[in-house]
A and B are shown apart, each in its own frame.
Chain A
Amino acid sequence: MTPELIGYITTFVLAAFVGIEVISKVPTILHTPLMSGSNAIHGIILVGAISVTSASDGTLQLVLGLLAIVLATINVVGGFVVTDRMLEMFKPRQQAEAKR
């Protein structure tokens, strides 16, 4: 095992624990927005898509990379926008009252 690999595995294990701890107390009403928000976060694959595409050689690899960029961008942009739309419904009470 290379030192890099050990570093990656360390990162993986620690991130797994953080991921579990960080949402351990979440009320039911936030389950859907939380799922949607974390859904947007795995759109980070866009970073991978960009690096693979820029390093690609040959048309096939380029096309696969570009397709991955399109899909990943849909994931990122759509994910964050749709989560925001869900959450803008949860206004603090005074604000909701003022609007009425």
Chain B
Amino acid sequence: MSQINLLAAAGFTLDEGVSLLYLLAAALFILGLKQLSSPKGARQGNFTAAFGMLIAIIASLTVIRPSGGRIVLMAVAVIVGTFIGAVLARRVKMTAMPQMVAAFNGVGGGAAALVSIGEYMRLVSGSSHGVVLAISVVFSVVVGSLSFAGSAVAFAKLQEMMTGVPITYAGQQIVNGIVLLGIIGFAAVVIGFSSSIPILVILLVISLILGVAFVLPIGGADMPVVISLLNAFTGLAVAASGFALGNTVLIVGGTLVGASGTLLTKMMSDAMGRSLSNVLFAAVGKVTESSAGAGAGAGQDQAVRSGTADDIGVLLAYSQKVIIVPGYGLAVAQAQHVIRELADLLEKRGVEVSYAIHPVAGRMPGHMNVLLAEADVKYDQLKEMDEINDEFKLADVALIVGANDVVNPAAKTDPGSPIYGMPILNAEEAKNIIFMKRSMRPGFAGIDNQLMFDAKTIMFFGDAKESLTKLVAAVKSS
């Protein structure tokens, strides 16, 4: 209550004070985003945004007048949410980070939809509502639910609770189009004719269905782009809730995320050398009958050369320049510490070692940098694609650990390949290529890699961590 007196003393009404605090929160969100986009201030930026959030929440608490019992219930809800969020975020492994972001995004979308429904029920029962309210509510419910369901599917795909392969069927786009038309139809009814809660609930359900149908045909490798897009969607849903509630901090916060998220989505698909519509609608990674047949045939016809740990250990130990190409296989095997051990060992023998980081190595842009940083790999050893691509031809060995699609020459040479046009690492230019993989199975995008059959390539099969441990022993003894 002291805060209210303070405001009164400064000549503000309570509402004005709260509006100013919301403005402060909005400014802190903007500053936080700004700091988050440079490596130096990124961590500080996250704190800045969190501080803005805290201010907004405290400000909102000063204007509500709930009964005592309700305050207790609300406090319990906050405590439950805090507990779940904190525990999940603390416990999640670094490798599972992308699906965690999907999950947090989905619940945000769900919350936006529920808030709008709740507000609509309250206002409609008071029989005063305008068309702006109806539009905001409908938008928030549709987009929020779509984001919730879509994020759930993205989570399931990344967590490997379901197949990461695109799920497609004949006429899928038509069916999805009809579902979308249905949404538009029911939305028009709510906005134009009747303030019916049941129709709003129907809208919610169809939007959930569309969310699922929208993400099903997108391959697991493209999930980060989808999550980023759904993140932007949730932002817009929140902004729409802000219109419905007449709350500026919701409008600013939601719109900031909607706008920056849209741009970020575009940057991510650009980093893969693909257009957003190609990511969303091309079902990349679906192995078509003919190409699967050809791929299998190629696998049987062409022999691969596989080597022993000792052979490869000697090759590495007597090289001058080794470039490591880490991929998701390294991350799932938790092999980031062993690879550093191997690199340190080689450096001690005078071998120049660097890591070539493809923009989408791992599961998300930047994911691989996080994983290697966790293993204390020196920052200046990590080279971005543009920086290192010309060095491959000078390298004695390109050591590919659990990566596949990012070194697939088909991206440059085969216009029929689904990844054609994606910028790749020029590993094929190295004098020797060591391809460490669990099996001959194609990578996450589901396509064959001719590099495995290259005359310069030695395959080394097995779990990345075990294989690397063997290599460490082999290098030590050579």
Contacts and interface: CB of A to CB of B under 8 A. Distances in A.
Main SS of chain A's interface residues?
helix
A56 to B, nearest CB: 6
A41 B370 CA distance: 22
Contacts of A86: 94, 97, 370
A44 B60 CA distance: 11
B283 interface: no
A20 to B, nearest CB: 5
B263 to A, nearest CB: 5
Contacts of A46: 53, 57, 111
A4 to B, nearest CB: 6
A91 B376 CA distance: 10
B101 A42 contact: no
Interface string B189-231: 0000000000000000000000000000000000010011001
Contact of B46 (A31, A77, A87): A87
Nearest to B255: A15
A37 B267 contact: no
B115 interface: yes
A50 to B, nearest CB: 5
A64 B53 contact: no
Interface string A3-28: 01101100110011111101111111
B65 interface: yes
Nearest to A91: B373
B15 to A, nearest CB: 12
Interface size class of A (residues with CB under 8 A): 35 or more
B24 interface: no
A41 B257 contact: yes
A73 B77 contact: yes
Size bin of chain B's contact surface = 35 or more
Contacts of B234: 39, 42
B46 A71 contact: no
A54 B64 contact: yes
B66 A53 contact: yes
Interface in B90-140: 90, 92, 94, 97-98, 100-101, 103-105, 107-108, 110-112, 114-115, 117-119, 121-122, 125, 132
A43 B32 contact: no
Contacts of A91: 373
B84 interface: yes
A39 B101 contact: yes
B245 interface: yes
Contacts of B247: 47-48, 51
Interface in B328-374: 357, 359, 364-367, 369-370, 373-374
From A19, A62, A96, residue with most partner B Cβ within 10 Å: A19
B104 A78 contact: yes
B97 A82 contact: yes
Contact of B104 (A53, A60, A74): A74
A31 B121 CA distance: 39
Interface string B50-75: 10010011001101111000100110
Contacts of B239: 12, 15
Interface stretch (B33-41, B425-433, B451-459): B33-41
26 contacts: A15-B252, A19-B263, A22-B33, A22-B256, A28-B384, A31-B267, A36-B97, A37-B36, A40-B50, A42-B238, A44-B249, A44-B254, A46-B57, A48-B242, A50-B57, A57-B125, A61-B118, A66-B73, A67-B114, A76-B53, A80-B49, A82-B100, A82-B104, A84-B47, A85-B89, A92-B40
Given A30-B42, A73-B85, A87-B42, 4 more contacts: A16-B258, A29-B39, A80-B49, A82-B104
